């Protein structure tokens, strides 16, 4: 499988500078919040979202150097993503993230919520200072979408009538909106034609959905060690993802354990076995492949460059993780 290190080589130096600058941006005025943020930024994430922003910037700027506003947009994107993870972990009562203790388990829920709020507030401040109203609107919409996605997921727990369309909408809110809108924002800062900016929004949307579908597949096919959290944890918490929704079509008897929220002995084991023995995982792979193909088609609107090839490679990487 292609490594993210090789894929991100066109922006590796940019990403290293971004990580160092994020620590400065967060600042040390609030020692506990700073410690929480430092813990997050040191947790070994792949930095894919800011990498896509920087790659779009390089691919759309041609031979010109990317601007300070492009770099700040990448930092804002990582701040928003990190803030959302902190809040998600509190809601999900997750003990680990990327194999290390979550902020709320290392500190407490109050600190975690405040740390997330702190990062959202900082991202909004730096976003406003980009002085581009359209970009402000795009990234503000992301923050709203993140909240909507979390609410949708909470309201639809253990709901076996959930449709695939509703699942994809929630996945867009929680994952793809940030990739899509920040990709478009980077293109806007490069002053590209409107049609190109829209294609890059579409690229980000499809890549984001592909990554989410693949993550949902891995929840059933990977070990606890690989995931950094217990396998099958989404299903246990009532979050019904693509493999489960497809399995429900094939095995209606899966409804029982889910609707009684796995309250009887052996329910979760039965449900996991039904999902794994169904066509749900393979159909989810096909769904992810569809979004990867669409993403690659969108990004080909750009002129050939190392950055464009890296964007294509990232789309391929999304699906390679399940083979």
Question: What was the pLDDT predicted at 233?
Answer: 86
User: How far apart (Å, rounded) are the C-alpha atoms in residues 48 and 46?
Assistant: 5
- Look at 98 and 19; give whichever has higher pLDDT: 19
Quote the mean pLDDT of the chain.
Answer: 88
Which tens digits make up the pLDDT trace of 104-117? 667 777 877 787 88
Which tens digits make up the pLDDT trace of 107-148? 777 877 787 888 888 899 999 999 999 999 999 999 999 999
User: How far apart (Å, rounded) are the C-alpha atoms in residues 280 and 108?
Assistant: 37
Question: What was the pLDDT predicted at 35?
Answer: 66
Residues of the chain with pLDDT > 70, as a percent, come to: 83
Q: What is the pTM of this model?
A: 0.91
User: How far apart (Å, rounded) are the C-alpha atoms in residues 54 and 62?
Assistant: 13
Measured in degrees and rounded to the nearest 5, phi and psi for residue 101 equal -60, 140
Planar angle of CA 180, 183, 188, nearest 5 degrees: 125
Question: Is residue 278 within 8 Å of residue 247, measured between CB atoms?
Answer: yes
């Amino acid at each position: 499988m292609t490594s993210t290190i090789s894929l991100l080589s066109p922006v590796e130096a940019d990403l290293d500078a971004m990580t160092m600058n994020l620590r400065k941006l967060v600042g040390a005025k609030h020692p506990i919040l700073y410690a929480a943020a430092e813990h997050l930024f040191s947790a070994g994430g792949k930095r894919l979202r800011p990498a896509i922003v920087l790659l779009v910037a390089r691919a759309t700027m041609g031979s010109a150097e990317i601007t300070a506003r492009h770099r700040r947009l990448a930092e804002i994107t990582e701040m928003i993503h990190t803030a959302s993870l902190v809040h998600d972990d509190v809601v999900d009562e997750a003990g680990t993230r990327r194999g290390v203790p979550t902020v709320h388990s290392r500190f407490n829920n109050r600190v975690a919520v405040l740390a997330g709020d702190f990062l959202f507030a900082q991202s909004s401040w730096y976003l406003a200072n980009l002085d581009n109203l359209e970009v402000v609107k795009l990234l503000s919409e992301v923050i709203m979408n993140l909240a909507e996605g979390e609410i949708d997921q909470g309201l639809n727990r253990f709901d076996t009538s959930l449709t695939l369309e509703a699942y994809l909408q929630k996945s867009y809110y929680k994952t793809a909106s940030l990739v899509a809108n920040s990709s478009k924002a980077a293109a806007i800062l490069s002053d590209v034609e409107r049609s190109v900016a829209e294609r890059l929004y579409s690229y980000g949307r499809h890549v984001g959905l592909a990554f989410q579908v693949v993550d949902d597949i891995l929840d059933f096919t990977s070990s606890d060690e690989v995931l950094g959290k217990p396998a099958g944890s989404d299903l246990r918490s009532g979050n019904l993802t693509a493999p489960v929704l497809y399995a429900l079509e094939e095995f209606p008897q899966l409804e029982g354990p889910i609707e009684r929220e796995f309250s009887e002995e052996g329910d979760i084991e039965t449900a996991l076995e039904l999902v794994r023995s169904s066509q749900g995982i393979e159909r989810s792979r096909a769904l992810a492949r569809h979004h990867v193909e669409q993403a690659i088609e969108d990004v080909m609107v750009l002129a050939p460059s190392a950055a464009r090839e890296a964007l294509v490679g990232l789309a391929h990487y999304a699906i390679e993780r399940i083979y």
